[in-house]
Amino acid sequence: MMPANLPPQYFEAEKKLKTAKTPQERIDILEELLSIVPKHKGTEKLQALLKTKIAKLKSSVQKKPKIARHSPTHQVEKAGAGQLVLVGLPNTGKSSLIERLTNAHPEIADYPFTTRVPSPAMMIYENIQIQLVDTPPITPDYMEVWYPELIKAADGILLVLDLGSPGQIDVFQTILKKLAEKRIEFVPEEREPLQAENIFQKKTLIVANKVDLPQAIENLASLEKSLSPEFKVITVSASRGDNLEELRKGIFNFLDILRVYSKVPGKKVEFSEPFVFKKGSNLMDVAKAVHKDFAQKLKYARIWGKNKYQGQKVNRDYILDDEDIIELHL
């Protein structure tokens, strides 16, 4: 029920939400609404709802990825729920995969080195976005000078191999050796990267492209026979569209993240703008993300989720699960 004593300016400002075109416009309008709302007990729930919406929008705003024009490092500003760099030899189909998985339209050609600079694009997975960065190819003789720093800053690597050609384990070893020159090592998805001063271990998911081509199954069998079983391989065809949904899900799982929905007491849940946390995060991480006041004054929360007693009461040290619905109580 709408609290009493809301001034006419509130309803005028509220109308502007329907025409807001960008997340930042919505944030500005919601902050204006919050400033207009009278501060008394009858509006506490409304204030909490507005604060939650503002926090969600600020958390999910996707800043336009930028490449530093004057920087030799070509670093890409992170956006979305995670950043993965596509790595591979020439003509493995990295740009074709980017086009299939995102709304981007990179230059694609049947000659090598079509991609010259890192090119970020956003992949939608259900209700979140994940940033994929297309890159120039690595060869046994050449790697862009800025390449290692781009990889070190990312959340992981998508290593793209070509099942249309034999000897993909040799390709794997070639790229491994080239990156080792810059002290970068591949780590399987299930292994925790070591934190060492002179070694940069990066979790790596192998994407075996062109599964639709002749000899692809034979080449895949040879690759998997020689590859450590710890490395997960997802087979796809960028040209035909095979297994792309499995790849999207694999990328989400690979990032080791989860989604949480914040619910205001007495209000419906909004599933379109989840908070995103690393697995292992707890209730206090949610409270801090919603508003600093919640973190300081939180007494308990109620949760709804998979395989849980719906609406059960939990304490501050509760460990989050993917798609938990959290109702914070001060």
Specify the pLDDT at position 88: 95
- State the Cα–Cα distance between residues 37 and 243, nearest whole angstrom: 50
Query: Within 227-291, where are the H helices?
Result: 244-254, 283-290
Specify the pLDDT at position 34: 82
Contact 171, 222 (CB under 8 A): no
- State the Cα–Cα distance between residues 38 and 4, nearest whole angstrom: 9
Contact 131, 78 (CB under 8 A): yes
Specify the pLDDT at position 114: 55
Specify the pLDDT at position 60: 67
Bridge-based pairing of strands 128-134 and 83-87 is: parallel
- State the Cα–Cα distance between residues 145 and 154, nearest whole angstrom: 16
Contacts of 15 (CB under 8 A, 6+ apart): none
The C-alpha angle with vertex 151 and arms to 125 and 274, in degrees rounded to 5, equals: 25
- State the Cα–Cα distance between residues 11 and 57, nearest whole angstrom: 21
Average pLDDT, the chain: 86
Ordered per-residue pLDDT tens for the chain, 330 residues: 445 578 878 788 887 877 776 777 888 888 888 888 888 777 878 888 888 888 877 776 654 444 444 444 478 899 999 999 999 999 999 999 999 999 877 655 554 445 568 899 999 999 999 999 999 999 888 898 999 999 999 999 999 999 999 999 999 999 999 999 999 999 999 998 887 778 899 999 999 999 999 999 999 999 999 999 999 999 999 999 999 999 999 999 999 999 999 888 888 888 888 999 999 999 999 999 888 777 788 888 999 988 777 889 998 899 999 999 999 988
Under DSSP, the state recorded for 124 is E
Provide the sign of the torsion angle of the four alpha carbons 29, 125, 112, 155, taken in this order: positive
Specify the pLDDT at position 111: 45
